Amino acid sequence: MQIKKILTPVDGSEHSMNAAKYSADFAESVGAKITLLHCHRRFPVILAEPHFQNAINDIMKDSEELVQPFVDMLDKQGVEFETRILEGSPGRVIPEVAGIEKMDMIIMGSRGVSDLEGLILGSVTHKVLHATDCPVLVLK
């Protein structure tokens, strides 16, 4: 099995940074391209203009700031990558992107920014493991 496309979801947590670093090393060793993915919260649909657009701008700004350290790290390492910022639940979006983009592998952190949320709602990692057909490497 050749691995040419790696999906690396990030949420700003230490675990996702560790996964991104591992992805960069792994991609470099096998000549793969990384797709860095961040899923942001849903846009509020009950707001009228200009508040709706302001909310979208704030969410996108926060997402771009969250992703920037990952982009900087990958740039510094010199691996090929692209960045995607998408709206929606990570447990649903990650497997969808992996399927649509025909990813060869997902490398992700074992926990996100909120351990408590993972305990109450079920972890994103658990959802991804059960919803995707490609191999998933989970890192602390």
How high is the pLDDT of residue 41?
85
| φ, ψ at 77 (rounded to 5°) | -75, -25
How high is the pLDDT of residue 98?
98
DSSP secondary structure, 61-106, as one string: HHHHHHHHHHHHHHHHHT--EEEEEEES-HHHHHHHHHHHTT-SEE
* Spatial distance between the Cα atoms of 125 and 140, rounded to a whole number of angstroms: 11
Q: What is the value of pTM for the model shown?
A: 0.89
How high is the pLDDT of residue 113?
58
Structure tokens at 31: 């000549």
Q: What is the pLDDT of residues 47-75, one digit of tens each?
A: 677 888 888 888 999 999 999 999 999 99
Tokens 């999906």 appear where?
Answer: 7
* Spatial distance between the Cα atoms of 76 and 129, rounded to a whole number of angstroms: 30
- In the chain, which stretches have pLDDT less than 50? 118-122
How high is the pLDDT of residue 118?
47
* C-beta of residue 43 within 8 angstroms of C-beta of residue 32: no
How high is the pLDDT of residue 42?
80
The neighbouring-strand residues paired with 106 are 7, 136
Which of left, alpha, beta for 78 (phi over 0: left; psi -120 to 50: alpha)?
left
How high is the pLDDT of residue 39?
96
CA 131 to chain CA centroid, Å, is 15
Structure tokens at 86: 């998408």
* C-beta of residue 139 within 8 angstroms of C-beta of residue 111: no
For the domain spanning 11-110+131-139, the CATH number is: 3.40.50.620
Amino acid at 12: G
